[in-house]
Structure 1
Amino acid sequence: MTIIRQPITGFSNPAVKAARALREKKHRKREGRFLAEGLRLLTEAREAGIVPEGLWLGQSRDPHPLVDALERAVSDEGGTIYETSTDILAKISGKDNPQTVLGVFADLPTGLARIDRSRSGIWLVAQSLRDPGNLGTMLRTCDAVGAGGLILIDQCVDPFSVEAVRASMGAVFTVPVAQADWAEFVGWLRAGPGQLVGTSLNTAHDYRGADYASPCFLLIGNEAQGLPEEYEAACDLLVKIPMLGKADSLNAAVAAAVMAYEVLARQR
């Protein structure tokens, strides 16, 4: 099979401008596409059956069988393969030292309707999460504990931002993500089985002594404010992670990981 690569030499090329624009949320939403960079991330996507519509390769890249596999997959799916300079890749990625492999992907579906709560006993739910690094780390935690997925409530950081995708280390392609407002989520949750467990300072229940049902939906609040009172009131159970130092709470992603492993151990 002959691989056709389209050479790109100018910064003003429309394909360069379109790819570069995907660093901004408004353009991602308008186009329904997002960027991912690095051979590892794109290989994770390919192995999950997700192939980029556009594959950008640096002219200075080293030969690698995984790059060859990506090229074949993109070609088989009718995508476009671009070959360009490091400077143009830097323009697209916004990094001085860009990866030599970038991909433009169609948005992944994020509706609650795609969530099958029976596929796992653990789910992470994040409310008004603001930091893309935390979101990416939560996706990695989902993957590590075998959670069903990550449900983003209210106005959260874009899961398809370059930063969040990078922080997920490929988990954005293997872990289902859903987005909903609070009312929609609660209506969906109460329409079937599911225990809603919130983390809060406003409880005496230690997270290590709680009874976790399956499926268990772990609700983590905003990094600064935590959960709103009405959200806490809607939980089936509130638990606290003890703080032995001067800090009053853990980082949101760290708290999610601690809780997820405790639920995993209890359910087993």
Structure 2
Amino acid sequence: MPRRHITGFSNPTVKFVRSLREKKHRKREGKFLAEGLRLLTDARECGRLPKMLLMAEGRDPHPLLDALEQAVEGAGGEVIELPGEILAKVTGKDNPQAVAGVFAEFDTRLDRIDRSAAPIWLVAHALRDPGNLGTMLRTGDAVGAGGLILIDDCADPFSVEAVRASMGAVFTQGIAQARWDEFLPWLRGGEGQLVAASLRDAQPYRGAPYAAPCFVMVGNESRGLPEEYEMACDLRVTMPMRGRADSLNAAVAGAVLAYEVLATLENRG
């Protein structure tokens, strides 16, 4: 397919791509937007290619961009050039990176998760901040987790903000979405230890008996986890708070706990 050039803000393709910044349009189209050469290169290396590649005119040449363009064209995708100011409108970012891509959303059904594929999984309940969601994906990538399971009503993992915050981990991590009454029976249908930070009958997070596959669960940013969810956990742990704050940011708490689980499992050999 030949490269296409767009010059006007009113072009239907520009309007379509801009619409993907809204959840209702992403769900209707089954597509999402990602930006930046590094992020799109991570996607390519994970076997994920955009259906549509948008490149700013006058961009600096780069071999990774050449490789990305060739891969998209080879897979039958569309390559579009457009002025930088239009790309800024598309991404909603004042200083847009030179490239963006439109990807098909992934299958996020819980039954696609292979719990034996990794020793650690992250679980988030009612996480509302897309930045926190993206950070948890990035943490999962860092600790070698299998992915992130989103419970009940969470932020959209395919929003521009979440994808951006993930720094490419949206492509390296498995993502599943489920209700609690679906997740818990699924978890109990096989091996898996459910762990959460809590003050209810909790033990110190250091030295706790973590076991693989370990599912590390964090709650809503302001309300935490419902008592019912905490009491369903196999292990509840507490992290010391030495200052005036009484809690950690949800994504930070998940990262601290995930690294402690990783260290315990690795030391166990």
What TM-score does the superposition give when structure 1 sets the normalisation length?
Answer: 0.97
2:102 paired with 1:104: yes
Q: Deviations over 1:156-176 (max 9, x none)?
A: 000000000000000000110
Q: Distance in 2 between matches of 1:169 and 1:209?
A: 31
Partner of 2:141: 143
Q: Distance in 1 between matches of 2:130 and 2:100?
A: 19
1:222-261 matches, within 5 Å, as 222-261=220-259
How far residue 241 of structure 1 moved from its aligned partner, in angstroms, is 0.8
How far residue 45 of structure 1 moved from its aligned partner, in angstroms, is 0.3
Partner of 2:67: 69
1:204-223 matches, within 5 Å, as 204-223=202-221
Q: Deviations over 1:62-104 (max 9, x none)?
A: 1111111111111011111100101110110111211110000
Partner of 1:114: 112
Q: Deviations over 1:123-156 (max 9, x none)?
A: 1100000111111111111111111111000000
1:148-187 matches, within 5 Å, as 148-187=146-185
Q: Distance in 2 between matches of 1:52 and 1:201?
A: 44
Aligned length in residues: 266
Q: Distance in 1 between matches of 2:200 and 2:243?
A: 18
Partner of 1:18: 16
Is the 8 Å Cα contact of residues 117 and 215 (structure 1) preserved in structure 2? yes
Partner of 2:122: 124
Partner of 1:83: 81
Q: Distance in 2 between matches of 1:164 and 1:203?
A: 34
TM superposition outliers: structure 1 runs of 4+ over 4 Å: none
Q: Distance in 1 between matches of 2:114 and 2:202?
A: 32
Q: Distance in 2 between matches of 1:243 and 1:250?
A: 8
Is the 8 Å Cα contact of residues 193 and 215 (structure 1) preserved in structure 2? yes
What's the secondary structure of 1:157's corresponding residue?
coil
Pick from 22, 31, 40 the counterpart of residue 38 of structure 2. Answer: 40
State the one-letter code of the partner of 2:197.
T
Pick from 59, 63, 67 the counterpart of residue 57 of structure 2. Answer: 59
How far residue 47 of structure 1 moved from its aligned partner, in angstroms, is 0.6
Unaligned 5+ segments in structure 1 are: none
How far residue 120 of structure 1 moved from its aligned partner, in angstroms, is 1.1
State the one-letter code of the partner of 1:120.
A
Partner of 1:198: 196
What's the secondary structure of 1:159's corresponding residue?
coil
Is the 8 Å Cα contact of residues 196 and 235 (structure 1) preserved in structure 2? yes
Q: Distance in 2 between matches of 1:246 and 1:97?
A: 38
How far residue 202 of structure 1 moved from its aligned partner, in angstroms, is 2.6
207 and 119 in structure 1: CA distance in 2 versus 1, 3 angstrom threshold: same
Taking only aligned residues, the RMSD between alpha carbons, in angstroms, comes to: 0.9
What TM-score does the superposition give when structure 2 sets the normalisation length?
Answer: 0.97
Is the 8 Å Cα contact of residues 199 and 221 (structure 1) preserved in structure 2? no
How far residue 4 of structure 1 moved from its aligned partner, in angstroms, is 2.4
